[in-house]
Each structure stands twice: as C-alpha cells, then as structure tokens.
Amino acid sequence: MRRCWGRNTRGHLYKTFLVAIVLVAMAATCGSATDPLADLKEGAAALEAKKYPAAIAALEPLVARLPKIGDYVAFFVASAKFESGDYAAVQKTLDPVFKMTPVSPLAPRAVLLVARAYGQSGDTKAALEILRRNYSTLPQPAGDLAMAEAFAAADDSISAVVYHQRVYFGYPMSAEAAQSDAELARLRTGLGEKYPPPMPNAMLGHAIKLMDAKQYAKARTELESLVPQLGGAEKDLARVRISVADYNARDTARAHSALASLEVSTPEADAERLHYLLLCAQRLKNQDEVQSTLERLGRLYPNSKWRLESLIASANHSLIENQMQAYEPIYRACYESFSQDVLAAGCHWKVTWGHYMRRQADAADMMRAHLRMFPGSEYAPAALYFLGRLSDPAGARAYYDEIVREYPNYYYTVIARERLKEIGNVVPSPKVNEFLRNNDFPQRSRTLNFQANATARARIERARLLASAGLDDWAVGELRYGAQNEDQPQVLAVELAALTTKTAGPDQAMRYIKRYAGSYLFLPMESAPAEFWKFAFPLPYRADLERFAKVNGLDPFLVAALIRQESEFNPKAVSRANARGLTQILPGTGRELSRKLKVRTYATASLFVPAVNLQLGTFYLKTIVDSLGGRWEAALAAYNAGPSRAKAWSSWGEFREPAEFIETVPFAETRNYIQTVLRNADTYRRIYAGEIRAGLGK
C-alpha cells in the first residue's frame, strides 16, 4: 500500500491535538476517492456558468489526475484564469496543450488565448509573435481577426486594416465580418488619406460570396457601388455580375435588357455576358435568340468555359422536351470541343443513350467508346450493364461480373446480380474481358482497415473520457480532428457515429460515415464491420416503419431506403420546398392525407411526429404506386419530381425494363434519386433481412 506519511512526521513527537489535526488532514488527502471525470464535469459546468474561481479550484488538480486529456483540463483552467484577469498565468497553464501527444485539437485555440492574454497584459510584441509563428494553423477568420486586433493594439493601424479587410472581404457571412466592418469604419475615419484601399479582386470576391449565399440584393448593391472604383477587367466583370444578380433574383426582363445593351472589352466578361444572355432568352422562351447567342459564343470564344456552360444549358433544355434532333448536335459539340472537361462525359452519355433508346446499330460502339474516353464516368456502370444487354450470354457475363466486382453497392449491381442468376454458369467472353482489362478504369480501394492504430486508439480513448464527463461536443471535436488530419478516418467515423447516434441522432451519424468514409459504396459488405453498415444505413423507428409498411403492402426495406434519401431519418427535417419529417410531406398534402386516414388532432406539427409521418407517408407512397400501375421506378420518379412529370416520361419510349425508364429520366437529380433508393433498398435487405419479419410485402 502506498504510504502518504510525510518525511517530517518520522521520529517526532506531537502533542495529542496536533496529531489529531495531522491525521484528519492526511485522511482528507489520501483517503479521498472522488471521480476525476465527475470533477471535470463539475468544473466545466462552473466555467460555463462564469464561476471562474470555482472552476479553477475544481479543475486545476485534474491536470495531473487526467493526463490523457490533460490538454482539455489545462485549456479550461487557462480560460478561467483569463476571464479572472490572471493573464500572466495563461501561457504556462496551457503548456500541456502544446506538449500533448497525439497533437491536441485545442492547440490553435490555445494560441489565440495566449495572444489575447499578452494583449491584455500590454505585451503586443509577444502577441504578434505567437500569432505569426502559428498563423498557418489558426482557424479562420478568427486568426485574421486576432492579427488585426494585435496590430491595432500595437498602434499599427495600417496592418490592422489589412487583416480586418481579409476578414470582411473573405468571410462576409461570418460573425467576425461584422466586427471587422465596424472596425474598418473607425480606422477609415482615423487614417483618412492614409487608409489603404482594398484590392479590387477582394471587393469583387466579397460580392460574389454574397451571391453564392443567395444574398442577391446585397450583392447587386455592392457591385453597383464598386463599379466607379474599378477599372479594366474587374470593372467589366462587376457590370456583368450586376445583371447576374438580377437573373438569379428572377428579374429576368431587367437582366436581359441590361445584358443585351452592355458593352465590355474583356473577352472573359463578354463570354459570361453572352452566357447569361442565353439563359435569359431561354427563360423568356426566345429560342431564336438562344441559337444565335450560342453560335456567337462559338465564333468569338470557342474555348471559353462559358461556351461549355451555354452548350449544356441549351442541350438540357431540349433534352427535357425530348427533342433528340435538337440536343444531339449540341451535346456532341460539348464533348468534342471540351473532351478533357469533367462535364464532357455527361454530354457523351446523353447522345449515347439517345442512340440506345432508338435502337440504333451503333449504340454498343458508342457505349464502348464512352468507357474508353471516360473510364471514371458516373455513367460507366450503366454503359457496362447495357452493353451486357446487347451482348450474347458470354459477353453479358463478362460485363455483369465487372459491375459486381467494381461497383459492389450501386443500382446497376443489383440488377446485374439478377441477370447473372439468369445466365447461369456461362464462361465469360475472353474478348470482352480483354477489352475491360485494357480499359483505364480508376483504381479504387476495395477494403479499408478498421483495426485502429495507436493514434486512432488514443483519439478514441480521449473522446470516450470526454464523453464520460458529459463533454460530448468536445469529444466530437477530438474525433473530427483525427478524422480530418490523420490516416484512419474510417475508424474514427465509426466512433463518431456511435457517439452521435445517442446524442444527435442517426442522421448525423450517417453524415459522419459519408464524410469520413466516402468510398463506402466501393466496399464489399463483408470487408467492413456490421456496425459500420448499420450506421451508414440506420433503421430507427423500426416498429412503426414495419407496421405501416405492412398495412399498405409495401416492402419495409424500400420504405427505409426512401426515408434515408429523403430525410436521412431526421424526424425534424424541413426541405427547401417546406416538405417535412421522415418521408418529407408538404403541409397541404399532410392535411389531405390526414382527412383520408381520419387522423385525429392533426396539425402541421404532426408531420414531425415519426409515427404520424410514417402513417401518412406510406399511404401516400402506396397511392402513387397504384396510380402508376405498380411501377416502382415511375412511382419514385413521381415522389421526387411530381406525378405529371413521371407520367410524361413514361410515354417517351417503349421501355423493355425499368432501368431503361430510369436512365431516360432527363433530370439528373431524379434519375440519381430513383437509382439511389432502389440501391438503398437492396442494401437494407442485405443488412437486415435476417432481422425483419418475413411476409411484409413485396
């Protein structure tokens, strides 16, 4: 047993009362067995409540008692000391943060805290030094704001302006931008003529970022104010972008009029002007102007990205109208003129698919050309599958084997597996296999290592300690830091999913899998742990989902697949169109369905109740399926894009199988939606088939 006696107690006689006092003190020191994680939770709560002396008293002893997360304890203590005005102690208190192994995620925040402490102490030189030394690691825009404040404290107003401008122009939607805007106004007044004007590209960048954030009115106002301050290419670009803001704000007539009369001398700005002029003409249904503008872009700026954008916009418009004679030459110009652009593959596939659906003799040659020209194309699985459909059994076997091997979790894999069952034990075609071997398909990782290495184990242990102390947000930050900066993001993604399933819900857990194990669709199911797949394809609200699927004669796996795509199982989800809940039902549709089903005490908020949403959503899905003759591919198209469109697309050809209808859908979003839901259903079936009761519907 460890002895707690101090050396000065040996060989000395004490009076009785003194001995008693010493024994009591020793008992308090050696006999206390408080839980350090409970103390950490208490200290963190005191810090959050701004009870700084209590936080320091509770936390300071824990730096030694919790060495594996000593950096977090030290950061909390330093924060409390800073708020208490003990600036001199901040840097020393933060030593465990800078010395932690593995690297502490708190290090950049610790640098900012030390710099603030130096600033409060009046040591602006030291503040600037530590910020400069660690600038590349600082979070932005907080880092630039700290630099600006440090320069201002050092009476270097010019440098302060430069860094405040970086914040204001570079991060216009941030809270720091508002601070910098106020400071820039004050500095502009104080410096007068010495005030350094912002660079034109920075001002333009600010307006463009506002446009990206859909702040079109603000962007327009800012661009108008910039025009007198700019010259040359920047001025031309600003003048064009004013009309772009109008176009994005749906003020099409105004944008069209301004663009038609606008004269600019810079080729890039003029190409952009013509592109948006074409979009305006398209929206105004002036097809003659669309064609003439497209021809002008081809003459004047044949290699401009704006010509490519215009080609695709014009061809897509004709595609939506099912006018192959109109769209084929435009798509062809796209992939012939811009063969190295990532958009070229889509253009080539649209032409190829048109030939296939019209049963033209060159369809197979075009599909093989697609695989040679664009081996990494998102349409490669489709090309492989339909080449199989055009081949004899031996050729089909080779193409389907390639899909199953290279795309284990794709829509076309699901149907390729079924085709392979029909073909049986046919020997794959050597000629097709040779073609596939000689094709330059991308090399993808087929397996990931889910055995944590030493660094990942340390991250997980630290995160679990933090979570045990009720510091879930800090635990998530620890794991995210490791996932973003170290070599086993997939391992930490599983841990993140496990943590956030309990705290934030399955939707957030799923997003961590998608973000940090993004290649999961290329992983064979047996190569990853079962928990990984269940986090990627969760099944919450299971009892209600099964119950209402059975009531409506629906496959529960397909219902789960649809929900995963619609809301990621977030019961509070609200779409841009105001659709709500698990199955994303519009309020008006919800009211109509609730009347049909005689749901008592229904209100719009009821759509956020999982059981109610599942009851309405499964019934609605069943009505759509029935209205389309039981064709699931058309029903899913209707669920995503509306029944009228699904019915119109159904008349576009004589579809020999569902995959042909799906590939014909002209909206990329809807096409991908149908394929993803059907793929998800198959994945759910493979994960949960042994757990869900049989006979719930086909």
The answer, yes or no, to whether residue 1 has pLDDT greater than 80, is no
CB 633 within 8 A of CB 661: yes
Compute the C-alpha angle 468/472/474, nearest 5°. 110
Give the confidence band of 4 by pLDDT, cuts at 50, 70, 90: very low
CA distances to 304, 309, 458, 524, 685 from 274, rounded to whole Å, are 11, 11, 56, 48, 50
CB 59 within 8 A of CB 80: yes
pLDDT tens per residue across span 107-147: 999 999 999 999 999 999 999 999 999 999 999 999 999 99
DSSP letter string, 607-642: GGSHHHHHHHHHHHHHHHHHHTTT-HHHHHHHHHH-
pLDDT tens per residue across span 565-609: 999 999 999 999 999 999 999 999 999 999 999 998 899 999 999
402/406 Cα distance (integer angstroms): 6
231/242 Cα distance (integer angstroms): 15
Q: DSSP E strands: which ranges in 295-388? A: none
Residue from 566, 568, 660, 663 carrying the catalytic annotation: 566
pLDDT tens per residue across span 27-82: 333 445 689 999 999 999 999 999 999 999 999 999 999 999 999 999 999 999 99
pLDDT tens per residue across span 214-227: 999 999 999 999 99
CB 71 within 8 A of CB 106: yes
Q: Which of 261, 212, 206 is nearest to 238 (CA)?
A: 206
645/364 Cα distance (integer angstroms): 29
Q: What is the number of other CB atoms lying within 10 angstroms of the CB of residue 30? A: 12
pLDDT tens per residue across span 327-346: 999 999 999 999 999 999 99
Q: What is the pLDDT of residue 392?
A: 97
Mean pLDDT of the chain: 93
The answer, yes or no, to whether residue 2 has pLDDT greater than 60, is no
CB 426 within 8 A of CB 394: yes
Q: What is the pLDDT of residue 290?
A: 97
Q: What is the pLDDT of residue 33?
A: 66
The pTM assigned to this predicted structure is: 0.89
Dihedral, CA of residue 19, residue 24, residue 29 and residue 34, to nearest 10: 170
Q: What is the pLDDT of residue 325?
A: 95
Q: What is the pLDDT of residue 690?
A: 75
CA distances to 105, 485, 628 from 586, rounded to whole Å, are 42, 41, 21
The answer, yes or no, to whether residue 249 has pLDDT greater than 80, is yes
- Sign (positive/negative) of CA torsion 525, 529, 535, 540? positive
Residue 585 pairs with which residues in a beta bridge? Answer: 580
Give the confidence band of 524 by pLDDT, cuts at 50, 70, 90: very high
- DSSP category for residue 447: -
pLDDT tens per residue across span 366-424: 999 999 999 999 999 999 999 999 999 999 999 999 999 999 999 999 999 999 999 99
Residues above pLDDT 90, as percent of the chain = 91
CB 412 within 8 A of CB 521: no
pLDDT tens per residue across span 190-217: 999 999 999 888 999 999 999 999 999 9
The answer, yes or no, to whether residue 694 has pLDDT greater than 50, is no
pLDDT tens per residue across span 152-179: 999 999 999 999 999 999 999 999 999 9
Higher pLDDT, 392 or 696: 392
pLDDT tens per residue across span 531-546: 999 999 999 999 999 9
Q: What is the pLDDT of residue 502?
A: 87
Structure tokens at 291: 């064609």
Cis amide prior to 141 (ω within 30 degrees) = yes
pLDDT tens per residue across span 642-679: 999 999 999 999 999 999 999 999 999 999 999 999 99
- Sign (positive/negative) of CA torsion 631, 637, 643, 645? negative
Maximum Cα–Cα distance across the chain: 111
The answer, yes or no, to whether residue 15 has pLDDT greater than 60, is no
Residues in the chain: 698
Q: DSSP E strands: which ranges in 273-409? A: none
Contacts of residues 160-169 at CB distance under 8 Å and 24 or more positions apart, as own/partner, are 160/187, 161/187, 161/191, 161/195, 161/196, 162/196, 165/196, 165/198, 165/202, 166/141, 167/141, 168/206, 169/198, 169/202, 169/203, 169/205, 169/206
Three-class SS state of 580 = strand
CB 330 within 8 A of CB 341: no
DSSP letter string, 257-277: HHHHH-----HHHHHHHHHHH
Contacts of 354 (CB under 8 A, 6+ apart): 324, 327, 328
Does 566 participate in catalysis according to the annotation? yes
Q: What is the pLDDT of residue 447?
A: 85
The answer, yes or no, to whether residue 22 has pLDDT greater than 80, is no
Q: What is the pLDDT of residue 692?
A: 55
Q: Which of 389, 408, 409 is nearest to 399 (CA)?
A: 389
pLDDT tens per residue across span 318-327: 999 999 999 9
Q: What is the pLDDT of residue 444?
A: 75
